[in-house]
Amino acid sequence: MNVTKTILARLSIAHSFLVRQIRDGMGSIIASKFTNSSTEIRTIKDGDLEKILEVHKEAFGERVPTQVMRYSNKFKNIFYIYEVEGEIVGYIGYYIHLKRVGWKIVPLATAYSVAVAEKMRGRGISSIMYKESVHQLKRNGVRAIYAYVNEQNMASMAAHKKAGFEIIEEIKNLYGQDAGYKMELRL
């Protein structure tokens, strides 16, 4: 009986992993066709990751930037950079997933990481990044954007609400002991 439970648990994990790989692969194919016409933000390019990881560390401490490392290349057309005088001071990364709406399959985005260098906070950079990136996603056919925000992160909550996101779900223990909110911005 225990062997059966172990096998079923491993199959479930393998299935979840496979589904995620397929979902990410399909999303990255869709995102590879996206274009950026913004003059305020640009997309990631080779050589940017080191500075992005520095900004991430300033914003999130020692938390491992797993999603940034995984998705910054896979979804590089929708990983946006904000620069001041040639220096990366902020970024916002998205990934694309597909959802069936009636007979159509539509692209949706999730903002998985947003950060601004400590010395540049309070200058409206996250607002600019959201405004510009949302415009780019919308012009490329994305129907809605989702974000997950720690209930303790008041600055992030304020930035998302300012960008037009609404709370659609509270998720207990999303961030360890802390709850989080799933937020949505319909385009």
Which tens digit of pLDDT belongs to each residue from 10-50? Answer: 766 766 667 667 777 777 788 888 888 888 999 999 999 99
Rounded to the nearest angstrom, the gap between the alpha carbon of residue 90 and the centroid of all alpha carbons in its chain is 13
CATH number of the structural domain spanning residue 118: 3.40.630.30
Calculate what percentage of the chain has a pLDDT beyond 70: 92
Q: Give this prediction's pTM.
A: 0.85
* 116 DSSP β-pair partners: 90
Give CA–CA dist 53/61, Å, rounded. Answer: 11
Owning domain of residue 125: 2-186
Number of domain units in the chain: 1
* Residue among 171, 99, 96, 177 nearest 137 (CA): 96
Calculate what percentage of the chain has a pLDDT beyond 90: 52
The one-letter amino acid code at 113 reads S
Pairing label, strands 144-150, 104-116: parallel
Task: Give the helix, strand, coil percentages of the chain, each rounded to 5.
Answer: 45, 35, 25
* Confidence (pLDDT) at 163: 92
